[in-house]
Amino acid sequence: MNIEQKRKIESLVALTLSGLAAAIGLFWLVYILGDVLIHGLGALHISLFFNDPAAAGVEGGGLRNAFVGQLMITLVATLIGVPVGVLGGTFLAEYARGKAIARTISIISDIMVSVPSIVIGAFVYAILVRPLHHFSGWAGAFALSIIMIPVVLRTTENMLSLVPWTLREAAFALGAPYYKVIIQIVYRGAATGILTGILLSIARVAGETAPLLFTSFNNNFFSTDMNRPIASLTVTIFQYAMGPYKSWHSQAWGAALVITLFILLLTIAGRLILKWRYKQ
């Protein structure tokens, strides 16, 4: 066998291996999604959305409390996280553009995005749960907003940087103060990008479980009182899946399917908007 053939065979082997790796990787992932779909569809009944949980071990009941709780926690987290994130990103991209402080905050935000979320739960427990002596929906929402802020902040910063500087100069030339230029010109130019960032950040926090374990905790009863422990889909999935009852397991699959679909839809919507806006 000459060197030519050896090189060709080596190439073939290596490429086959990487193709195989791709197949293995995708196999597991398709397997997981398929499993969630199959088990989840079997558990999707109207009662899952409109009934409250039955007594432990009793068949039937639903997860109305968890759906409502999840929506409230996510909504409040968004209401805190989005304004703070967008304004913070504005400071970095506009007033502090190019300055050391902007770079520092950007880097810290990037690290914050990946900080273990359970540590954030422990942090919020120390400042909002223990001093008040009870778990609360507010604490859960606050924990999620801490995760959300750096995500929104970084996307906003990037999207504002994409707006051409000349656009701002044109507005300055008309005598507009900077804040008016930002609000009326720059935000308008970057609106779709920022919106995408917001959608993706909601998708990011909606599936978080760890920071909710010791902040919003869980509640087996229907409650809309954010001052008290409140149920969430993710913590309920954890509790139900680890529990001993078949009906719990099936409802956990149902909840898993709903939350997966919700997150995938948000992610796809975000990507489509980006693609449509910045055709590339």
User: Footprint of another protein on residues 114-153 (CB under 8 A)?
Assistant: 114-123, 125-127, 146, 149-150, 153
Interface with another protein: number of residues (CB under 8 A) = 98
> Which residues from 4-43 bind another protein, rule CB under 8 A?
7-8, 10-12, 14-15, 17-22, 24-26, 28-29, 31-33, 35-36, 39
Binding of residue 105 to another protein (CB under 8 A): yes
Considering the complex, state which of residue 31 and residue 50 has its C-beta at the smaller distance from another protein. 31
Considering the complex, state which of residue 50 and residue 246 has its C-beta at the smaller distance from another protein. 246
Q: Locate tokens 């490429």: which residue?
A: 15
Binding of residue 192 to another protein (CB under 8 A): no
- Which ranges constitute the DSSP H helices of the chain? 3-43, 46-50, 64-90, 100-114, 117-124, 137-162, 165-173, 178-180, 187-206, 210-213, 233-242, 246-277
Shortest CB 249 distance to another protein, Å: 7
Binding of residue 162 to another protein (CB under 8 A): no
> Which residues from 45-84 bind another protein, rule CB under 8 A?
83-84
User: 172: which 2 tokens?
Assistant: 């300055």
SS3 55: coil
Binding of residue 94 to another protein (CB under 8 A): yes
Which residues 6+ apart lie within 8 Å of 138 measured at CB?
A: 76, 128, 226, 227
Considering the complex, state which of residue 72 and residue 259 has its C-beta at the smaller distance from another protein. 259
Shortest CB 2 distance to another protein, Å: 14
Kindly tell me which residue out of 171, 203, 230, 231 binds another protein, with binding defined by CB under 8 A: 203
Binding of residue 276 to another protein (CB under 8 A): no
Cα dihedral sign, 181-186-191-195: negative
SS3 61: strand
Binding of residue 191 to another protein (CB under 8 A): no
x-marked contacts with another protein along 245-274 as a string, rule CB under 8 A: ----x--xx--x--xx--xx--xx--x---
The region, left, alpha or beta by phi > 0 then psi within -120 to 50, assigned to residue 44 is beta
Which residues 6+ apart lie within 8 Å of 186 measured at CB?
A: 94, 160, 163, 167, 168
Task: Using alpha carbons, select from 31, 82, 43, 63 the residue that is nearest to residue 220.
Answer: 63
